[in-house]
């Protein structure tokens, strides 16, 4: 693939995302507001409950001092991301399932705020560094990808009448695979950053 073709692909993707945001700005705004409120609620709950929190070995704020735990958390994080995305894929088949999609994204946003606060409260400076450099950027990007994947999939509600179920099903499959690959890439990048900074604690949700 030539450089010109690559640039054209990136421009097409960028144009598609911008057009999608303009067309579906209402649902994106509504979902984003609920997710923001959930994130802030998680922070508030974390501030009030951090004294009673116990560090787990497989969920939430996880100590990854050993290589075995670090390797297992990678697959746990990846599985969680893929599972939520597949559930969003299922919710995209009818507008009546949109509240379930909202609950999935809101709950994940709540957990992110909760455990970000707990990590900072429990680990001080090191927890703050991990939160700011690794956890929040990666997990916020994950939420953004999940939201955009769902909104894109849900957009095919109207397309069924115009193009038929077979064509829209192929579109949904392509969108799903693209979303899964993006999440895999984010998870790998997050793991590489963990290794580079020799982080001893990470978030698993």
Q: What is the pLDDT of residues 115-151, one digit of tens each?
A: 888 888 888 887 888 888 888 999 999 999 999 889 8
Query: Ramachandran region of residue 179, left (φ > 0), alpha (ψ -120 to 50) or beta?
Result: alpha
Query: Given this model, what pLDDT does residue 102 score?
Result: 93
The ranges assigned to domains in the chain are 3-204
Query: Given this model, what pLDDT does residue 105 score?
Result: 95
At 147-176, the pLDDT tens digits run 988 988 887 655 555 444 545 677 778 888
Closest CA to 51 of 147, 132, 118: 118
User: Cβ contacts of residue 10 below 8 Å, gap of 6+?
Assistant: none
Query: Given this model, what pLDDT does residue 166 score?
Result: 47
At 37-52, the pLDDT tens digits run 999 999 999 888 877 7
Query: Given this model, what pLDDT does residue 196 score?
Result: 84
- Give the CA diameter of the chain: 57
Query: Is residue 204 within a helix (H) or strand (E), and if so which, with residue range?
Result: strand 201-204
Closest CA to 116 of 58, 187, 47: 47
Are 62 and 127 in contact, with CB atoms under 8 Å apart? no
Query: Given this model, what pLDDT does residue 152 score?
Result: 84
Q: How far is CA 130 from CA 28, 49, 62, 105, 123, in A?
A: 29, 20, 12, 23, 10
Task: Read off the pLDDT band of 107 (50, 70, 90).
Answer: very high
Query: Ramachandran region of residue 124, left (φ > 0), alpha (ψ -120 to 50) or beta?
Result: left
At 49-99, the pLDDT tens digits run 877 776 666 677 777 665 555 667 888 888 999 999 999 988 888 888 889
Pairwise CA distance, residues 5 & 156, whole Å: 27
Query: Given this model, what pLDDT does residue 3 score?
Result: 56
């Amino acid at each position: 693939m030539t450089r010109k073709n690559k640039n054209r692909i990136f421009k097409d993707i960028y144009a598609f995302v911008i057009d999608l945001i303009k067309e579906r700005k209402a649902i994106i705004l509504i979902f984003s507001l609920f997710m923001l409120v959930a994130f802030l609620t998680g922070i508030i709950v974390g501030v009030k409950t951090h004294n009673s929190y116990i560090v787990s070995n497989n969920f939430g704020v996880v100590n990854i001092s050993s290589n075995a735990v670090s390797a297992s958390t990678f697959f746990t994080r990846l599985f969680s991301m893929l599972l939520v995305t597949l559930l969003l894929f299922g919710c995209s088949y009818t507008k009546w399932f949109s509240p379930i999609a909202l609950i999935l994204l809101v709950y994940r946003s709540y957990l992110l705020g909760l455990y970000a606060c707990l990590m900072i409260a429990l680990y001080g400076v090191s927890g703050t560094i991990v939160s700011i450099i690794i956890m929040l950027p990666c997990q916020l990007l994950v939420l953004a990808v999940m939201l955009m994947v769902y909104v894109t999939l849900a957009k095919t509600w109207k397309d069924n009448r115009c193009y038929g179920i077979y064509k829209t099903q192929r579109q949904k499959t392509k969108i799903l695979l693209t979303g899964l690959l993006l999440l895999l890439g984010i998870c790998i990048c997050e793991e590489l950053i963990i290794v580079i900074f020799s982080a001893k604690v990470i978030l698993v949700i």
